[in-house]
Structure 1
Amino acid sequence: MSTIFRPIVLRRAAPDLAAVLSLRSTIHRRLRFHTSKNISYESTGLSPSKISESVQGFSGRSYRIESVLQDKGMPLGRVYLATTDEDQKVVVKEIPQDWKARNEIYRRTSRCSHIRLPIDSIPESRMLIFEYIEEDLLSLIQQREVPMKQIKRALKWTLEGISQLHAVNITHNDIKPNNILLQTATTPAGLVVERVLLTDLEDAVRLEPGRYLQGATLGNLMWRSPEAHAGGPMEAASDLFAFGIVVIPTILFRQMSYFADDESGVEGLLEYLGDNDEMRDVWEAIVDSCRDVRKNPIMGWQGPGMDDDFKDLVKGLTKLDPRRRISANEALRHRWFAGVS
């Protein structure tokens, strides 16, 4: 069993939903940024005041740093936009912690066609170089008219990326729309999705069959599986729940939280989580606060794209009990993807 140190244990208390979720948010921050290493920006060789300098990759190519795309703070580091001598845009990403582990993950995924892989590295500065792809699934569905066939293609290829990871015993742990990169083309027939890549494997973990991840709250708050909110156990099925939540706004064009189960599904989840008093408090609070809310099961949803096959796919992906969710390969064979290449 793969275990990550958990520094905080919640004591059983009255199930006040706001208080519980606030405390879980604090736990997330303290777990997510916990590190035993004392790494500064100076250790990467690229200080915050020197973002216009050039760096050289292991390949011998030079990269001119243009701007900071994202500053995650230490120990997670920064993401830079850079250009090559040929003015090709690339992404330079600091990997201040777990450098060897990240490289091992990418080595194991080197044949995965739907994963964005490093094109170069700077080992002495703990940096990886990636192809720059501007568009992602979130921006696509927010800004452009996308034919249903192309939405299905983007989702199917994303699912193929998840399946490729799971085939080499790697879980992504941070599936969300802006981690799904796209390349598209405009043709006389309309917009066409030409390429889909899953990115950001910084939370990815290698898990042998029968093992799981315990004690870390990984992934984005809005797209996280129930067991990920609980700090584990997490496994391949956790990626599928997150993917199921991603699928919904691509069709509805708005984000909404959805769980496929009634209270019996909650009990199945709690059984899966085992001896986890803090999570039982959370779910008791959620169930309590929703007793008077009118239920709206997915099979009753109406609107464009809301056919029975779509609803059945979402139900299979978002079962509260991870043991009841469909796998990536089962999802790829689902009727909703029939005829999608």
Structure 2
Amino acid sequence: MFTYFISRANNEKFILKYVHEDNLEDLQDLKGRLRGTNYVRLVKDTIPEESMFVFQYFTDHLLRLAQKDLPLALTKRILKDALRGIVELHDRDIVHTADIKADNILINWNEDQDGIGIERVQIADLEDAVYVPPGQNIVGLQAGNWMWRSPEAHVRGPINKPSDIFSFALVCIHAVHKRVIFAVGEEELVGNLNREATVVARQMSYFADREGLCAFLDHIGDNPWVPLLEAARDGAFKKDKPRRLFSLLGSVDEDFENLVYAMANFDPAKRITAREALAHKWFDGV
């Protein structure tokens, strides 16, 4: 639940957001760990008796703004700033728990005769974010929205920073190609597969090869999804070649394709880090 209000003191806009009382203490802890960050939206104030947090108001989010005909340079700027937010989280061992999605990338923007200008970009919605000490994982949590989840989050496998990176790859595809590629409708469900299984199957067809899928199976360990994934592996990867997502999206910049596949490797251990993505060639000059 959100409530919008304007401060009488300086005309600044804020959002009141109800937070379950069980999350209040955890969010306060995260606020302390994230002190000094620039690209993560933090709580401005709290109303403990109402279980509410006060946040800065933002004009829009990327899910909506990406539908405008933005210049590619502006899209890169937004994505690079969002990635800086993920770096700030991961440098402090905080995992967003695979809820990195386009509508959690908040943007203050304006428009004049010269076009759209970006004032500020921040990663938001830390209610499910978790501090994960080095060497540990989050296990058993099916985190995040199903359209943006990593494969390991779908099957309740071990989740860590690479899960955020997979989700951010999907955000990049949406921002550049205006497609939410795992928004599976009811009419797309096949046989007895539910929506989650259909999404995982599509993730495999877009991003997995035999080596990556075998490593993924090792990663999730003793998991009820293993027999299904093994059957898919044995039937789909006889030639040991990766599938090609971008052939479905038309003309694609080679550097962008390289960046997305590096972030969406089916083997979580081989996904590039947020800092490595930030330094990728596709962001040169931004």
TM-score range, shorter chain: 0.7 to 0.9
Report the CA distance shift for 1:279/1:242 in structure 2 as closer, same or farther (over 3 A): same
Q: Match of 1:263?
A: 210
AA of the residue aligned to 1:266? L
Report the CA distance shift for 1:285/1:83 in structure 2 as closer, same or farther (over 3 A): farther
Residues 56-103 of structure 1 show CA distances to partners (whole Å, capped at 9, x for unaligned) of xxxxxxxxxxxxxxxxxxxxxx33333434564321112222221111
1:134 Cα deviation after fit: 3.1
Distance 2:61 2:233 in 1: 35
> Structure 2: which 5+ residue stretches go unaligned?
183-202
Q: Match of 1:201?
A: 126
TM-score (norm: length of structure 1): 0.70
Q: Match of 1:80?
A: 3
Say if 1:298 and 1:311, in contact at 8 Å, map to a contact too.
no
AA of the residue aligned to 1:163? V
> Structure 1: which 5+ residue stretches go unaligned?
1-77
Distance 1:82 1:191 in 2: 25
Match status 1:320 vs 2:244: no
Match status 1:272 vs 2:215: no
Report the CA distance shift for 1:207/1:188 in structure 2 as closer, same or farther (over 3 A): same
Match status 1:167 vs 2:91: yes
AA of the residue aligned to 1:221? W
Q: Match of 1:107?
A: 32
Q: SS at the partner of 1:145?
A: coil
AA of the residue aligned to 1:236? K
Distance 1:84 1:190 in 2: 29
Larger Rg: 1
Structure 1 residue corresponding to 2:74, chosen from 140, 145, 150: 150
Distance 1:172 1:291 in 2: 32
Q: SS at the partner of 1:339?
A: coil
Report the CA distance shift for 1:289/1:176 in structure 2 as closer, same or farther (over 3 A): farther
Distance 2:262 2:227 in 1: 26
Match status 1:238 vs 2:185: no
Report the CA distance shift for 1:285/1:132 in structure 2 as closer, same or farther (over 3 A): farther
Distance 2:117 2:152 in 1: 36
Match status 1:184 vs 2:130: no
Distance 1:326 1:260 in 2: 14
1:266 Cα deviation after fit: 1.4
Say if 2:208 and 2:243, in contact at 8 Å, map to a contact too.
no
Say if 1:299 and 1:308, in contact at 8 Å, map to a contact too.
no
Q: How many residues align?
A: 259
Q: Match of 2:194?
A: none
Distance 1:203 1:327 in 2: 21
Say if 2:59 and 2:109, in contact at 8 Å, map to a contact too.
no
AA of the residue aligned to 2:214? E
Report the CA distance shift for 1:302/1:179 in structure 2 as closer, same or farther (over 3 A): closer
Distance 2:158 2:237 in 1: 27
Q: Match of 2:285?
A: 339
Distance 1:291 1:169 in 2: 35
Q: SS at the partner of 2:158?
A: coil
Aligned residue runs from structure 1 range 288-307, under 5 A: 297-298=244-245, 300=247, 303-304=250-251, 306-307=252-253
Q: SS at the partner of 2:133?
A: coil
AA of the residue aligned to 2:89? L
Q: SS at the partner of 1:116?
A: coil
Residues 283-326 of structure 1 show CA distances to partners (whole Å, capped at 9, x for unaligned) of 2465588689xx8514656645x111000000100011100100
Structure 2 residue corresponding to 1:219, chosen from 138, 141, 144: 144
Distance 2:15 2:4 in 1: 5
TM-score (norm: length of structure 2): 0.83
AA of the residue aligned to 1:234? I
AA of the residue aligned to 1:265? G
Say if 2:137 and 2:159, in contact at 8 Å, map to a contact too.
yes
Say if 1:158 and 1:180, in contact at 8 Å, map to a contact too.
yes
Residues 202-246 of structure 1 show CA distances to partners (whole Å, capped at 9, x for unaligned) of 110001111110111111110000111121311111100000011
Say if 1:270 and 1:280, in contact at 8 Å, map to a contact too.
yes
AA of the residue aligned to 1:231? R
Distance 2:180 2:104 in 1: 16
Report the CA distance shift for 1:226/1:296 in structure 2 as closer, same or farther (over 3 A): closer
Q: Root-mean-square deviation (CA), in Å?
A: 2.4
Q: SS at the partner of 1:222?
A: coil
